[in-house]
Chain A
């Protein structure tokens, strides 16, 4: 039963992230849910190429919890994996979020105007670029 409720919550959140919002976000929003639609892998040896999210083991749905300073995977199969947010910077038009793990550094820019997002994960040998769309998360975890 709990699993069904959780799944429903994820589906609703996914719909929220995919929907067109008149305003994608404002200064008061504490959590955002982002649907990742596209990923590229870039190395110094070759041109950037498209990669499947499954191939690079990144969840297609990510929640950015600015209050708890964490980002967490929220896909049906891959949920609950976290990274700590090291810093947040707001401009009138964008939200910039960044952090690092032991072996990688990452950042995300979310447009507060239309919700588009680009992210980058730099792991030394390669950098991976993520593209997606975010919306304020109306179903906080």
Chain B
């Protein structure tokens, strides 16, 4: 049972790895990721451009903040012990903006899935930062 879960996790990570490597970012917001998220949200044709724009802006602003703090997630280098404290505050305002915009576009059911995607993304970011 335990081994099965472990194998499944390894297969899942192996599947995700090329996407991260190709993108070279700690943020799971490559075009491939965004495309997966759009499918999961079951968006209408009208909703798609707005949600795509939110996720692309998250990526753009998030990467700018990470770059400013010298965090690339490459080379296996761990960030400093207190390096992420300030970073977290800066990312928070970008995240809040995205959530607020999404809540204006998505239905409550879609919004629940959006939060689920966000929570999974946060776990992936921690992993990419070697935490």
Where the two chains meet, the residues of A that have a C-beta atom closer than 8 Å to any C-beta of B are 55-59, 62, 71-73, 77-78, 80-83, 101-104, 106, 121, 123-126, 128
Contacts and interface: CB of A to CB of B under 8 A. Distances in A.
6 contacts: A58-B85, A82-B78, A101-B82, A102-B70, A104-B82, A126-B86
A124 B80 contact: no
The 6 A-B residue pairs whose C-beta atoms are closest, nearest first, are A123-B86, A57-B84, A81-B81, A83-B81, A81-B78, A121-B82
A128 B85 contact: yes
Contacts of B82: 58, 83, 101, 104, 106, 121, 123
Interface string B72-111: 0000001111111111111000000000000000000000
B91 to A, nearest CB: 10
B88 A57 contact: yes
A119 B81 CA distance: 13
A124 B131 contact: no
A118 to B, nearest CB: 15
A73 B86 CA distance: 17
Given A102-B69, A102-B70, A103-B69, A56 B81 contact: no
Nearest to B84: A57
